[in-house]
Amino acid sequence: MRHLTPEEIVDAAEGCADSGLAAHARDCVACRSKIEAVTDAVRLARCDRAAEPSPLVWPHLAARIGEAVRRERIRAPFWKAWGWTLAPAGAVVVLAIAVTIGMWMRPGAPVSGAPARVAEMPAPAFDGPAADLDAADDPSWLLVSTLSAEMSVEDAEASGALPPPGGAERALFHLDEAERLELARLLREELDTRAPAVPQGPGA
Amino acid sequence: MSTRADPWPAGGMQLDWTLSVVPSTQQKSGRDLPLSGLDDRRVVEACLGGRVEAFDVIVERHQRAIYQLCFRFVRRHEDAADLTQEVFLRAYRGLRRFRGDATVATWLYRIGVNVCLNHVTARKMPETPLEDAPALRASGSDPASSLLKEETGARVRAAVARLPRKQRATLILRVYQDLSHREIAQALGTTVGAVKANFFHALGNLKRLLAEEAIEKP
């Protein structure tokens, strides 16, 4: 039979081993020696008896702990007491912020109030050279032109300045009804100005 | 006290609308029972129900065992009292996490072992020279025998302090606190087999350390 494992030796030393293990322990010198070593070590360890404090310690210690517990109760921060009450309100606030940020970050999303402004604004005049003059006079446009003068299309694409593939279609998809109508009107005007004159028929 | 409502019309079904206060309902929540008569779990329930004085009962019942555990680790009465307070404060803070799958005593032992091991890890314990070992209460009539026991006790204490953390905790809980292997497993968050193996190795190391010290300081 195999020798006893450490767990079985502890069981045997404490008199909890089953009959098979106990029989082996009686017959096996090596295992018996280990069991005796464990018993001896326990006896040695028990030589260190803790010095018992005065009986007066216990009521004093209990009172001290009681005071500390009551201080703990008083000092508990308000959010612990109100935590469960405030949690739903906090969740609603976080959700509202997340939704606002999400709408703001959405590609092609209309800026709040933009459709109204678009509707109110007079349609820009695309009158050929006049329109170019207007753009040239715009300081923002000048700044963008100056900064991007030395930039190649590849660099602009790599920097993320250009819309991603399909970005224009996605932006179109996100336009609301008023914006779509406005865009259609602008495109129609542009097409009308660039369309070649319809040849007049001989009978005209 | 009882109140009786108007009966049903004559000839119809009559219901007894007697309302009475049933004492057992209050007993169920433990609100009006003397706390000292409740078992630990009910006392914890009462404490969670808002009776802070219920925690005093827990302290009274277990402070001695927890103090002795702490003293085994730190060997100074002042430190043991501080650590005992810390154990009960942590228990109070975490009372809602007490699941009841172990006894309150085992749960407190678990907190106690963690607090003590953290303490002795953070602070290197002062080595008490054998000649400076505190005198214990004399137990026998023979002074020589008593002195020998005190010396042996001090040597054992020093050797236990040098054991690895888990072995030390296992040995203290088994030999000095008389916990079963199962209770130690619950307190240390391990298995019964691991506890027995730890105990076996702790005893082996204890004997080896004592033998080494005997050679160094004959």
Residues A145-182 pLDDT 10s: 777 776 766 676 666 666 666 777 777 778 888 888 88
Overall average pLDDT of the B149-153 stretch = 81
Question: Regarding predicted confidence, which is higher, A198 or A190?
Answer: A190
pLDDT value for B133: 39
**Residue B130 pLDDT level (bands cut at 50, 70, 90):** very low
pLDDT value for A153: 67
Please answer whether residues B43 and B57 qualify as being in contact, where contact means their C-beta atoms are separated by less than 8 angstroms: yes
Residue of B34, B29, B60 whose CA lies nearest to B46: B29
pLDDT value for B24: 39
Please tell me the distance from the alpha carbon of residue B43 to that of residue B29, in angstroms, as a whole number.
10
Overall average pLDDT of the B139-156 stretch = 73
B206 to chain A: closest CA residue: A41
Mean pLDDT of chain B: 79
Joined tokens for residue A66: 């009681």
Please tell me the distance from the alpha carbon of residue A35 to that of residue A41, in angstroms, as a whole number.
10
Least CB-CB distance to A69: which of B55, B71, B203?
B55
One-letter identity of residue B6: D
pLDDT value for B163: 93
pLDDT value for A104: 77
Instruction: Test A66 with B175 for CB contact under 8 angstroms.
Output: no
pLDDT value for B49: 87
Least CB-CB distance to A41: which of B88, B176, B207?
B207
Overall average pLDDT of the B92-109 stretch = 90
Residue of B111, B169, B158 whose CA lies nearest to B131: B158
pLDDT value for B88: 96
Chain A residues inside the 8 Å CB shell of B92 = 69, 72
Please tell me the distance from the alpha carbon of residue A87 to that of residue A93, in angstroms, as a whole number.
10
Radius of gyration, CA atoms only, chain A: 44
Chain B residues inside the 8 Å CB shell of A66 = 55-56, 59
Q: Interhelix angle for B192-216 vs B143-161, to 10°?
A: 120
Q: Lowest mean pLDDT: which of A103-117, B47-61, B181-195?
A: A103-117
Overall average pLDDT of the B138-142 stretch = 51
Instruction: Test B81 with A73 for CB contact under 8 angstroms.
Output: no
Which residue ranges make up each domain of chain A? 6-45, 58-105, 114-194
Residue of B91, B90, B87 whose CA lies nearest to B70: B87
Shortest alpha-carbon distance between residue A178 and chain B (Å)? 57
Mean pLDDT of chain A: 75
Joined tokens for residue B51: 């009776």
Overall average pLDDT of the B21-41 stretch = 61
pLDDT digits (tens, 9 = 90+) for B41-97: 889 989 988 888 899 999 999 999 999 999 999 988 999 999 999 999 999 999 988
Q: Which of B203, B206, B207, B208 to mutate to test the interface with A (most CBs of A within 10 A)?
A: B203
B162-218: CATH topology: Arc Repressor Mutant, subunit A (1.10.10)
Residue B126 has pLDDT above 70, yes or no: no
Chain B residues inside the 8 Å CB shell of A12 = none
pLDDT value for A34: 92
Question: Regarding predicted confidence, which is higher, B4 or B182?
Answer: B182
Q: Lowest mean pLDDT: which of A111-120, A179-188, B49-58?
A: A111-120
Joined tokens for residue B48: 């969670």
Residue of B188, B140, B174 whose CA lies nearest to A41: B174
Please tell me the distance from the alpha carbon of residue B205 to that of residue A6, in angstroms, as a whole number.
13
**Residue A136 pLDDT level (bands cut at 50, 70, 90):** low
Chain B residues inside the 8 Å CB shell of A10 = 181, 196, 199-200
Least CB-CB distance to B137: which of A40, A51, A62?
A51
Strand-pairing partners, residue B3, are B19
pLDDT value for B182: 94
Chain B residues inside the 8 Å CB shell of A64 = 81, 85
Instruction: Test A40 with B200 for CB contact under 8 angstroms.
Output: no
Instruction: Test A48 with B137 for CB contact under 8 angstroms.
Output: no
Q: Which of B84, B147, B173, B200 to mutate to test the interface with A (most CBs of A within 10 A)?
A: B200
Residue A201 has pLDDT above 60, yes or no: no
pLDDT value for A110: 53
Chain A residues inside the 8 Å CB shell of B64 = 58
Radius of gyration, CA atoms only, chain B: 26
**Residue A61 pLDDT level (bands cut at 50, 70, 90):** very high
Residue B2 has pLDDT above 50, yes or no: no
Question: What percentage of chain B exceeds 90 in pLDDT?
Answer: 50
Residue A75 has pLDDT above 80, yes or no: no
Q: Which of A69, A74, A75 to mutate to test the interface with B (most CBs of B within 10 A)?
A: A69
Q: Lowest mean pLDDT: which of A7-16, A42-51, A96-105, B86-95?
A: A96-105
Shortest alpha-carbon distance between residue B102 and chain A (Å)? 23
Which residue ranges make up each domain of chain B? 37-132, 162-218
Say how many CB pairs under 8 Å bridge A and B.
104
ipTM of the prediction: 0.71
**Residue B143 pLDDT level (bands cut at 50, 70, 90):** low
B37-132: CATH topology: Rna Polymerase Sigma Factor; Chain: A (1.10.1740)
pLDDT value for B129: 40
